[in-house]
Amino acid sequence: MSVCMGARRLVGLSLSRSSWILSRGANTSAKTLSSLRRISDPKKDRIQKRDITSCNVVQPLRSENKVTVNFINRDGETITVKASPGDTLLDVVVQQDLDIDGYGACEGTLACSTCHLIFEEETYKQLGPISDEEMDMLDLAYGLTDTSRLGCQICLTKSLDGMTVRVPESSADIRQSDGSA
């Protein structure tokens, strides 16, 4: 867990892009990440862009290292999948082709909040710190709870094995945010 969270950092725009691929690719080595960090010094980068999770976990080779995740979908149906540590919950939804309407619209770049998930209290506590940027997007999510997180920011670890996450109901009536006036 701590490894995964330790790899989170505020990154410049160019790095957000790269780290996104890295988090998707299997082997995100610490070496690659730190060399990328050098290219884009967050202090120099004028607008500090979002905190993208970089899952600094080496992909296990054997399938028994997989983690079980239960998704309770909007219709109440539970979908159980096996996924690899190091993947984000967005990766899981995409790779396993889970039928969750509109999930992950911004493709994991902390710009949409459509990957909102609700965790059980105990699991939530294990997820580690949450960045200001993730909180900012979560604040726009419909049906925000005290144990809400954005799935694209959550990396799977062995200790999360067997967890259950709930997909919040979507409502057509989200008027708390204002994109225009």
Partner 1 sequence: MRNIKTAFLSIHRLLQASRRHRARSLSACRLFSSYGSSPKVCIVGGGPAGFYTAQHLLKARGDMFVDIYERLPVPFGLVRFGVAPDHPEVKNVINTFTQTAQHERCSFLGNVSIGTDVSVEELKKAYHAVVLSYGAEGNRSMGVSGENLAGVFSARDFVGWYNGLPINKELLPDLNCETAVVLGQGNVALDVARILLSPLDFLKRTDITQQALESLKASKVRRILIVGRRGPLQIACTIKEVREMINLPETKADMLPGDFEGIAEALKDLPRPRKRLTELMLKTLKVDEGGQKASNLWGFRFLRSPVKLLPDADGKRVAGIRLAVNKLEGSGEEARAVPTGQTQDLECGLLISSIGYKSLPIDPSVPFDPHTSVVPNDMGRVSQTAGLYCSGWVKRGPTGVIATTMNDSFETARILVKDMESGPLDLSVNKAGSQEITMLLQTRGVKPVSFSEWEKINSEEVRRGEALGKPREKVLDVEEMLKIAWT
Query: Interface with ligand FES by CB under 6 A: which residues?
Result: 90, 104-106, 108, 110-115, 137, 150, 152
Query: Is 26 or 135 the residue whose CB approaches ligand FES more closely?
Result: 135
Q: Which residue's CB comes closest to ligand FAD?
A: 179
Q: Any contact of residue 179 with ligand FAD (CB under 6 A)? A: yes
| Nearest Cα residue to 109 out of 2, 24, 5 | 24
* Diameter of the chain measured on Cα atoms: 53
Question: Of these, 2, 34, 171, 180, which contacts ligand FAD (CB under 6 A)?
Answer: 180
State phi, psi for 58 to the nearest 5 degrees.
-75, 130
| Nearest Cα residue to 31 out of 11, 56, 49, 52 | 56
Considering CB distances under 5 to 8 angstroms, the limit depending on partner class, which of ligand FES, ligand FAD, partner 1, none binds residue 17? Answer: partner 1
Query: Is 58 or 140 the residue whose CB approaches ligand FES more closely?
Result: 140
Separation of alpha carbons 100 and 149, rounded Å: 16
The number of residues that bind ligand FAD (CB under 6 A) is: 2
Report DSSP state, residue 169. Answer: P
For residue 165, give every residue at least 6 positions away whose Cβ sits within 8 Å of its Cβ, in sequence order, or none: 69, 70, 71, 72, 89, 117, 118, 119, 123, 151
Q: Give the footprint of partner 1 on this chain (CB under 8 A).
A: 13-14, 16-18, 20-21, 24, 46-48, 50, 94-95, 97, 101-102, 105-107, 109-114, 132-133, 135-137, 139-140, 142, 144, 170-172, 174-181
Compute the least distance from the CB of residue 16 to ligand FES, in Å. 12
Phi-psi region of 89 (alpha: psi -120 to 50; beta: other; left: phi over 0): alpha
Compute the least distance from the CB of residue 86 to ligand FAD, in Å. 29
